[in-house]
């Protein structure tokens, strides 16, 4: 009995150790190297809408970047979909322009990628709940791929 507990503890420690080492291998959240990638994560909830804005910093050699493997996992007591608008703002000035629209499942996973953005462009995810305004919990993951 005691050896099973020790074995389970060792597996948990090993898993945490491996995930910690893997996490430390990524670029810092402040700067993505040219021809490199950066994993980004955000979670939360909303009832009507929510906006998450990002201002990525890159090295001097970076010219453009894309958001790849964008994954939104959602759950809600409501049924149906909500809209995800990926918008950009050129050099932090002017109006936000929608570059990608996706219909996300309130209970499920949605995947998409975006067109290229130029260095200096900010981007944001604007999530708008349609129909029933029941709470939607979400977790989002994506890769900022710079080149």
CATH of the domain at 132: 2.60.120.510
Alpha carbon distances (Å) from 67 to 14, 51, 82, 95, 123: 31, 17, 20, 20, 10
Query: Is it the case that residue 6 has pLDDT exceeding 50?
Result: yes
Q: Which among 49, 85, 81, 76 has a CA at the least distance from the CA of 138?
A: 76
Mean pLDDT estimate for the chain: 82
Which residues are registered as beta bridge partners of 33? Answer: none
**Predicted TM-score (pTM) of this structure:** 0.73
Q: What is the pLDDT of residues 15-48, one digit of tens each?
A: 554 544 444 444 444 444 445 678 899 999 999 9
- Number of domains observed in the structure of the chain: 1
Does any domain span residue 1? no
Does any domain span residue 2? no
């Amino acid at each position: 009995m005691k050896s099973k507990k020790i074995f389970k503890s060792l597996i948990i420690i090993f898993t945490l150790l491996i995930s910690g080492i893997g996490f430390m291998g990524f670029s810092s959240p402040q700067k993505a190297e040219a021809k490199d990638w950066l994993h980004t994560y955000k979670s939360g909830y909303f009832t009507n809408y929510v906006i998450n804005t990002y201002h990525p910093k890159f090295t001097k050699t970076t010219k453009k970047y894309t958001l790849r493997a964008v994954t939104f996992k959602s759950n809600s007591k409501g049924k149906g979909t909500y809209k995800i608008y990926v918008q950009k703002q050129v050099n932090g000035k002017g109006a936000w322009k929608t570059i990608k629209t996706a219909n996300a499942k309130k209970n499920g996973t949605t995947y998409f990628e975006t067109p290229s953005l130029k260095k200096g462009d900010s981007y944001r995810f604007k999530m708008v709940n349609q129909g029933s305004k029941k709470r939607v919990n979400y977790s989002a993951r994506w890769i900022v791929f710079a080149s």
